[in-house]
Amino acid sequence: MLAQSVPYVASACVVMKKVLVYGVGNPYRCDDAVGIKAAEELAKKVQKPNIDIKWGSIDGVAILDEIVGYDRVIFVDSIKTEKGKPGDIYKIKPSSLQDTGSSFSSHGINFVSALAFGKKFNLKMPEQTEIYAVEIADNTSFSEECTEKVQASIPKLVEAIMEEIEAIGNNE
C-alpha cells in the first residue's frame, strides 16, 4: 500500500474582537430615547458576527451583566449639558468622567463606579469603552418621538458609529 501525502496548508487564525454597541435610554421619555433609536438603526445596517447591538433602559451594576466578556463596548446615550445645543454629538472616554465613588442613587451606582467595580472584582472587562452622547432638549415629556433637532442628529450619529465599527474591522 502506498502512503499518500497530504499537502500541509498553514491557516491563519484571525481572532476578531468581540464588540458590543449598547443604546441606552427610556423609549417613552422623548429625547432620552435617542440611544435606543440609534441602536435600532445600527442593528438594521451592521451584519458582522463579532458585533452585537443591543438597547434598553440600563444603569448601575446591571451594566456589568451586559459588557463583561466583550473586548470593546460603545455606549450610545443622551446627555444634557449647560452649554450644548440639542443635536450636538459628543464622543466621550469614560476616563474623562468624574467618579463620584460608590455613591448610590435611585438607579443604583453610577456608570464610572460600575466599571471600577468590574475591574476590582477581576471581571473580564472591555479593553476599550467609549460613549457617544447626543445633547438633548427634553427628557421629561412622555413621548415616543424625539424633538426635531435630536431626531435629525440620529443619522449623523449612526454614521459616526458605523465608521468606528469599520475602523475596528480594518485594525484587526
**Domains of the chain with CATH codes:** 19-170 (3.40.50.1450)
Would the pTM count as exceeding 0.85?
no
Check if the beta carbon of residue 34 is closer than 8 Å to that of residue 146.
Answer: yes
Nearest to 25 by CA among 164, 157, 156, 119: 157
What confidence score (pLDDT) does residue 45 get? 95
Quick: pLDDT tens for 105-129. Answer: 434 677 788 888 888 888 899 999 9
Measure the CA–CA gap between 66 and 36, rounded to whole angstroms.
15
pLDDT 10s digits, 47-88: 899 999 999 998 778 889 999 999 999 999 999 999 999 999
More confident residue, 116 or 95: 116
